[in-house]
Amino acid sequence: MKGGLPATGVHPVRFVTSGKLYAELGRRAGRVVASDLQSGSSSFRVRAVMPVAESFKFAIELRTHTSGLAAPQMMFSHWEVIDIDPFWKPRTEEEYLHWGEKWDGVNRAKAYMDAVRTRKGLATDKQLVQHAEKQRTLSKKK
């Protein structure tokens, strides 16, 4: 399974909003490639890469979180193999001791795969009804 990574060049941003910029990139599995201060100003330019699947509505959320002080310029950069097994579960004794019976983290490869399967109308392993007795709608109206 491959995922495209758009190169995200962010226009000059004031130093005050840098934390919010890095937080938004981190939340979307982005990696900062380069960051340099613009000479003669208090602005800096950040080059980062993030998966295309995570880049939707990035510009809107970045402008919202930075109050319009950051403006992204996104373009496709390269293909990158996702090195996560989408079907990973703890199997060895060491993994059971570390993660327990069920791993509660987010597997990004599995999330991408399920999103594509749902969009194409294919089967996924999600349960539609988890607790049937809680979802009953048997009521007596008088």
Residue pair 70/17 in contact by the 8 Å Cβ criterion: yes
CB atoms within 10 A of CB 100: 10
**pLDDT number for residue 124:** 83
Angle 84-116-88 (CA atoms, 0-180°, nearest 5)? 25
pLDDT tens, per residue, the chain with 142 residues = 455 656 665 555 455 567 888 888 888 888 888 888 777 777 788 888 888 888 888 888 888 888 888 888 888 888 888 888 888 777 788 877 777 776 667 788 888 888 889 989 988 887 777 676 765 666 666 6
Give me the phi and psi of 57, to 5 degrees please.
65, 20
Beta-bridged to residue 48, according to DSSP, are 8, 32
pLDDT at position 120 is 92
pLDDT value, residue 39: 79
Question: How many other β-carbons are positioned within 10 Å of the β-carbon of residue 56?
Answer: 10
| Tokens 């993660």, located at residue | 99
For the chain, domains (ranges, CATH) are 2-80 (3.30.70.240), 84-123 (no CATH)
Dist CA 136 CA 53 (whole Å): 36
The CA angle 32-53-100, to the nearest 5 degrees, is 85
- Residue 50's CB is within 10 A of a number of other CB atoms, namely 25
pLDDT on residue 85: 81
Token pair, residue 109, equals: 């490869």
**pLDDT at 1 (0 to 100):** 46
d(CA 131, CA 121): 24
- Note the pLDDT tens digit of each residue in 61-94: 888 888 888 888 888 888 888 888 888 777 788 8
